[in-house]
Structure 1
Amino acid sequence: MSVALMWEARAVEGRGEELLAWVKAQVLARAPERRETLRAPRDRVLVITWWDADYDAVLPELPEPGAELVTRAVHRWRFEAV
């Protein structure tokens, strides 16, 4: 089974590049099959990781960045391939 974890954060205005650099520097406890990092207007950063695992498997996730870097808590979603 393939599971995708999505992690999305919005940086404090003007700190999008800093948030992007922070995300790219994060190393997970083990490597996913695939990892993509994307950005969007309003200083948003999205990371999607794909895993060969059951839907409810315990998987490494990106942490929360420092509160001074983001405008709100990170949004997280889990999806399974269909």
Structure 2
Amino acid sequence: MTVALMWEARAVAGKGEELLTWATHQPLDPPPLRRETFRAPEDRVLVITWWEGTYDTEGLPELPEPGEDLVRRAVHRWRFETVADGV
């Protein structure tokens, strides 16, 4: 089974690129099966990582909170587990 961890943050006005750079350079140990980083309007950054495990698997590495100088609010985090593969 696979679990996906989602991490979403909104940058302080004008710091979207800095937050994006910060998020893409955060190491995870061990590395995930897959990692994707997205950006959206209003300086939002989303990182999704995929791991072997279930929704309740403990100890999976997650991106930390960025410094208060980079984000407008606390990071939002969600977990999802695979229920079906493919389309």
Cα offset, 1:54, TM superposition: 2.0
Give the distance between the partners of 2:69 and 2:61, measured in 1 at CA.
Answer: 23
Q: Which residue does the alignment assign to 1:64? A: 65
Q: RMSD of the alignment, in Å?
A: 0.6
TM-score, length of structure 1 as denominator length: 0.97
Q: Which residue does the alignment assign to 2:38? A: 38
Paired residues, what number? 82
Match for 1:72: what amino acid?
Answer: R
Give the distance between the partners of 2:64 and 2:29, measured in 1 at CA.
Answer: 11
Q: Which residue does the alignment assign to 1:76? A: 77
Q: Which residue does the alignment assign to 2:8? A: 8
Q: Which runs of 4+ in 1 moved over 4 A?
A: none
Give the distance between the partners of 1:11 and 1:54, measured in 2 at CA.
Answer: 30
Percent of pairs identical after alignment?
72
Q: Which residue does the alignment assign to 1:50? A: 50
Deviations 1:15-66 (A, max 9, x none): 0000000001100121110000000000000000001112211200000000
* SS of aligned partner of 1:49: strand
TM-score, length of structure 2 as denominator length: 0.92
